[in-house]
A and B are shown apart, each in its own frame.
Chain A
Amino acid sequence: MKNFAELFKRLDRTTKINTKVAALADYFIQVDDEDKLWTMALLSHRRPRRTVNSKLLRAWAGELSGIDVWILEESYHVVGDLAETIALVLPPPEQDYDHTLTYWIQYIEQFAGYDEEGKKEAVQEAWRGLGTTERYLFNKLITGNFRVGVSQKLMTRALASATGIEETNLAHRLMGNWTPNDTTFEELIHSESATDDISRPYPFYLAYQLEQPAGELGSPDEWQAEHKWDGIRGQVIVREDEVFVWSRGEELVTDKYPEYHLLASAIPNGTVIDGEILPYRDGQPLGFNVLQTRIGRKTVSKKLLKDAPVVLMCYDILEYEGRDVRKLPMSGRRELLERVIEENDTQEVLQLSPVFHFTHWDELAAERETAREKYSEGIMLKRRDSEYKQGRKKGDWWKWKVDPLTIDAVMMYAQRGHGRRANLYTDFTFGVWDGDVLVPFTKAYSGLTDKEFNQITSWVRRNTVEKFGPVRSVKPQQVFEIGFEGIRKSTRHKSGVALRFPRMLRWRQDKPMDEANTKADLEAMLEVYGS
């Protein structure tokens, strides 16, 4: 674990990609294959299962440190991370345990068979022999939310440099349904063909938001335009008479969407389609909030299937007749995709994402304006001759989202952020006027620069009216422009509305608070855009 702690410190200190890759490559050369495999697993979100709940962890840490749980809680609000808070409040270590990362992970996995007292002894024993950073990592492993600022792509690059295997091949081998408990480093890394694991997906190709005017992209006939559907990005794989559904978070979600199961026999083996898991009925997409009722559910009831049915809105094909077709141009892949959908009876589970024909960019701009009515987030632009790349790349694919809805609101409450932003006030509650009273209607915690968060934090400290635990009410004065993607009625919120993706677009220091919007303005928006 000492190597791993050192790696973590080196990664944590820098934002420079090359420095991170170098730290990882050094590490991969130092440690044995088991630790390599576990590190790869952790950096690709394959974490050991949570075996201890955080409430118990707090109690045990308080006990070992001789402090009450309430002050540990308060410290947690300041630090913003429970694993770190515990690592810091514990007394200095009495021993110095030097074991591998794999040793500690197996140590933690054994907790599953212990009773509460056994777990407590094991955890406190480990704490007594680990330094601050090692404790922090140990706690992260126990709570199952280990995260470090390294993308899978970065890790793959470092591994490529340490093993001499080509990066794209590695990327493919690292995807799919493996865990360190059912494979070895050798097996995983040196497996020769993609069909070793029939469920293995291709890395998704992701687009950036368009920054320049669309007209500057060149001739319209070089581009394919579709709606940007408001569902979950998904990849459907049919191989060897089985179907696998992957979501973009590289999560296997086949069981959550039984609608797709008929595809195993409906389309030919060796087909992989990229599309949107979209709630859909009677030829129409439904709002994203319909799909939300299914996310996070492990079992899908008949009622849920009836209330929130999904289709796959298909926009690309990655494997055709068992061949990887990602190098074909977009236009060629589109033809294959149309062929698969037209030639097979998929009982409308596969829908072809319509391509919008346009000869002038203005026509497309007009179509984009209607996106919200169609439950789409805007327009996707793909170059007709583009191949299917991996990861987020600029140039060939762009998303051209509709502008957000906006409202000017007054800050009412402030709360400290978490992680990197602990100690700064970053989580705010905003209100609109109802007569001369402010009614809270949304929270927002992103959209400002670090400098602005510093400024507003300093302001919050000086203009606190009351403190309620970690929350402070502040003098109504500061106006922010809040942007959001949608609005709907809500019985759970006092204001009667719920916003989708609210964030701060601008700090309106120029605007006096009595010029902020009103509850009536919000209700008018609900009337027009509400679902």
Chain B
Amino acid sequence: MPLLTFNDRGIYCARADVYIDPWKPVPRALITHGHADHSRWGNDHYLSTRLAAPVIKYRLGDIDLETVEYGEVKTINGVKFSFHPAGHIIGSAQIRVEYKGEIWVASGDYKLEDDGLCQPYEPVQCQHFITESTFGLPVYRWIPQEELFADINDWWRATAAEGRTAIITGYALGKAQRILDGLDTSIGKIYTHGAIENTNEVLRAQGIKLPDTTRVTREVNKKEYPGNIVVATPGAIGQPWVKKFGNASVAAASGWMTLRGARRRRGADRGFVLSDHCDWPSLLEAIDLTGADNIYVTHGYTAIFSKYLREQGYNAVELETDYEGELAEIETKGSEETSKENALADEE
């Protein structure tokens, strides 16, 4: 029997009786990172990196959570588990699993470009590599982030010059902080949506440096917004919450903004292609760097990407999972994340 198998609860290691990122409650869960589709409610015991722990606790409340450092080996019934930087968001990890010379890596979500905020991705040698394929099509190719942030700041500057408010959207955890980190604060002040500011507080408390931000509340005079920028969650757009900003220019930051159709559907004035996932060239590079022959393709363009890998000589299979990638950044469905964000925004 292989060291890791896949069942209707998640990625399972029978020998150690643990799951990686399970989507149904299990006794023992190893968590790659704090996004809602990877760390879910209801498990009895959790294990994550120390850096990922505060956000997971903030989201899931009082859970039984044990932490490890990157690279530290944790042995369970003879199986060696270790967490390695995935470069996706702060604290995110690839989980390496080894038993009697058989080595697997479950990479969760990851990107190769160093974003300057989280521990950069480190390739981990293995025989079996579990990879996402959120942007696993050759049409997805990111431009370097310096160029992208120059575009974002140009747009903010132009919007400010018109005396309007700039609003940019991204996930409360990860994308929002990456946007904050790239903004040119000489242009104006940064305001944040409640769900984002809550996450910022958790991250600042663990020592992460972020620029100064002001939470959007009823107490802020509406006249203060024009000329400045508001970082908001995707779910907040189209809600009464945005009315206070008047005739604002709305931008969405997401890998999906590559496509004209997605940009237009989103109804944003601008779409910036900013993702915490791999683009096509870096997915291929990452797979090559692991040296693995056996590739398991999860969430994204699974069928197409695995077929492509088979043509390149890999033994690749597609897997059905409940992971979502960046989906919630363009879909307005009531996912946990979105409804929670809205609930938080309403509390203000």
Q: Are B139 and A80 in contact (CB under 8 A)?
A: no
Question: A454-B333, A457-B331 known; A81 and B138 CB under 8 Å?
Answer: no
Q: Which residues from chain B contact A424 at a C-beta distance below 8 Å?
A: 265
A51 within 8 A of B: no
Within 8 A of B (CB), among A374-400: none
Q: Are B138 and A71 in contact (CB under 8 A)?
A: yes
Question: A14-B269, A454-B331 known; A67 and B261 CB under 8 Å?
Answer: no
Q: Are B262 and A71 in contact (CB under 8 A)?
A: no
Q: Which residues from chain A contact B146 at a C-beta distance below 8 Å?
A: none
Q: Are A450 and B265 in contact (CB under 8 A)?
A: yes
B217 within 8 A of A: no
Q: Are B260 and A423 in contact (CB under 8 A)?
A: no
Q: Are A89 and B264 in contact (CB under 8 A)?
A: no
Q: Are A420 and B141 in contact (CB under 8 A)?
A: no
Q: Are B138 and A422 in contact (CB under 8 A)?
A: no
A13 within 8 A of B: yes
Q: Are B265 and A67 in contact (CB under 8 A)?
A: no
Q: Which residues from chain A contact B304 at a C-beta distance below 8 Å?
A: 71, 74
A399-418 vs B, CB cutoff 8 Å, 1 = contact: the mask equals: 00000000000000000001
Q: Are A420 and B264 in contact (CB under 8 A)?
A: yes
Q: Are A423 and B332 in contact (CB under 8 A)?
A: no
Question: A88-B258, A454-B332, A454-B333 known; A78 and B137 CB under 8 Å?
Answer: yes
Within 8 A of A (CB), among B264-322: 264-265, 267, 269-270, 301, 303-304, 308, 311
A362 within 8 A of B: no
Question: A13-B270, A88-B258 known; A72 and B138 CB under 8 Å?
Answer: yes
Q: Are A422 and B259 in contact (CB under 8 A)?
A: yes
Question: A67-B138, A85-B139 known; A421 and B331 CB under 8 Å?
Answer: no
Tell me how far the C-beta of B62 lies from the nearest C-beta in chain A, rounded to whole angstroms: 31
A360 within 8 A of B: no
Q: How large is the interface on A (under 10, 10 to 19, 20 to 34, 35 or more residues)?
A: 20 to 34
Q: Which residue of A lies closest to B258 (CB)?
A: A88
Within 8 A of B (CB), among A87-120: 88-89, 92
Question: A81-B261, A423-B261 known; A451 and B332 CB under 8 Å?
Answer: yes
Report the bound CA distance from A450 to B262 in whole Å: 12
Q: Which residue of A lies closest to B141 (CB)?
A: A88
Q: Are A455 and B262 in contact (CB under 8 A)?
A: no
B311-346 vs A, CB cutoff 8 Å, 1 = contact: the mask equals: 100000000000000000011110000000000000
B149-172 vs A, CB cutoff 8 Å, 1 = contact: the mask equals: 000000000000000000000000
Q: Which residues from chain A contact B261 at a C-beta distance below 8 Å?
A: 79-81, 418-423
Report the bound CA distance from A205 to B71 in whole Å: 73
Report the bound CA distance from A272 to B333 in whole Å: 53
Q: Which residues from chain A contact B264 at a C-beta distance below 8 Å?
A: 12, 420
Q: Which residues from chain B contact A72 at a C-beta distance below 8 Å?
A: 138
Question: A14-B269, A450-B265 known; A75 and B137 CB under 8 Å?
Answer: yes
Report the bound CA distance from A85 to B137 in whole Å: 10
Q: Which residues from chain B contact A353 at a C-beta distance below 8 Å?
A: none
Contact of B308 among A12, A65, A71 (CB under 8 A): A71
A277-295 vs B, CB cutoff 8 Å, 1 = contact: the mask equals: 0000000000000000000
A458 within 8 A of B: yes
Q: Which residue of B lies closest to A92 (CB)?
A: B141
Q: Which residue of A lies closest to B269 (CB)?
A: A13
Report the bound CA distance from A14 to B270 in whole Å: 9
Q: Which residues from chain B contact A92 at a C-beta distance below 8 Å?
A: 141
Report the bound CA distance from A72 to B138 in whole Å: 8
Report the bound CA distance from A454 to B139 in whole Å: 22
Question: A13-B270, A14-B269 known; A458 and B331 CB under 8 Å?
Answer: yes
Report the bound CA distance from A92 to B143 in whole Å: 10
Q: How large is the interface on B (under 10, 10 to 19, 20 to 34, 35 or more residues)?
A: 20 to 34
Within 8 A of A (CB), among B17-75: none
Q: Which residues from chain A contact B260 at a C-beta distance below 8 Å?
A: 12, 81, 84, 419-420
B236-279 vs A, CB cutoff 8 Å, 1 = contact: the mask equals: 00000000000000000000101111111101011000000000
Q: Which residues from chain A contact B331 at a C-beta distance below 8 Å?
A: 454, 457-458
Q: Which residue of B lies closest to A84 (CB)?
A: B260
Q: Which residue of B lies closest to A78 (CB)?
A: B137
A240 within 8 A of B: no
A467 within 8 A of B: yes
A369 within 8 A of B: no
Q: Which residue of B lies closest to A85 (CB)?
A: B139
Question: A12-B264, A74-B304, A424-B265 known; A458 and B333 CB under 8 Å?
Answer: yes
Q: Which residues from chain B contact A455 at a C-beta distance below 8 Å?
A: 333
Q: Which residues from chain A contact B330 at a C-beta distance below 8 Å?
A: 423
Q: Are B262 and A423 in contact (CB under 8 A)?
A: yes
Q: Are B270 and A88 in contact (CB under 8 A)?
A: no
A514 within 8 A of B: no
Report the bound CA distance from A81 to B258 in whole Å: 13
Report the bound CA distance from A489 to B306 in whole Å: 44
Q: Are B265 and A65 in contact (CB under 8 A)?
A: no
Q: Are B303 and A467 in contact (CB under 8 A)?
A: yes
Tell me how far the C-beta of B279 lies from the nearest C-beta in chain A, rounded to whole angstroms: 11
Q: Which residues from chain B contact A457 at a C-beta distance below 8 Å?
A: 331
Q: Which residues from chain A contact B265 at a C-beta distance below 8 Å?
A: 420-421, 423-424, 450
Tell me how far the C-beta of B297 lies from the nearest C-beta in chain A, rounded to whole angstroms: 14
Q: Are B139 and A75 in contact (CB under 8 A)?
A: yes
Q: Which residues from chain A contact B139 at a C-beta distance below 8 Å?
A: 75, 78-79, 85, 88-89
Tell me how far the C-beta of B271 lies from the nearest C-beta in chain A, rounded to whole angstroms: 8
Question: A65-B138, A75-B137, A78-B301 known; A423 and B259 CB under 8 Å?
Answer: yes
Q: Which residue of B lies closest to A458 (CB)?
A: B333
Q: Which residues from chain A contact B258 at a C-beta distance below 8 Å?
A: 88
A307 within 8 A of B: no
A68 within 8 A of B: yes
Tell me how far the C-beta of B277 lies from the nearest C-beta in chain A, rounded to whole angstroms: 15
Within 8 A of B (CB), among A6-25: 12-15
Q: Which residue of B lies closest to A462 (CB)?
A: B322
Question: A420-B261, A455-B333 known; A74 and B269 CB under 8 Å?
Answer: no
Tell me how far the C-beta of A90 lies from the nearest C-beta in chain B, rounded to whole angstroms: 9
Q: Which residues from chain A contact B267 at a C-beta distance below 8 Å?
A: 15
Tell me how far the C-beta of A51 lies from the nearest C-beta in chain B, rounded to whole angstroms: 24
| Residue from the set B141, B261, B262 with the largest chain A CB neighbour count within 10 Å | B261
Report the bound CA distance from A52 to B100 in whole Å: 59
Q: Which residues from chain B contact A450 at a C-beta distance below 8 Å?
A: 265
Given A75-B138, A88-B141, A458-B333, 13 more pairs with CB closer than 8 A: A71-B138, A75-B139, A78-B259, A78-B301, A79-B259, A85-B139, A88-B140, A419-B260, A450-B265, A451-B332, A454-B331, A454-B332, A467-B303
Residue pairs across A and B with Cβ atoms less than 8 A apart, 12 shown, are A13-B269, A67-B138, A68-B311, A72-B138, A75-B138, A78-B139, A88-B141, A89-B139, A420-B264, A420-B265, A421-B265, A422-B259
Q: 6 nearest interchain CB pairs? A: A422-B261, A88-B139, A458-B333, A420-B264, A89-B138, A74-B304
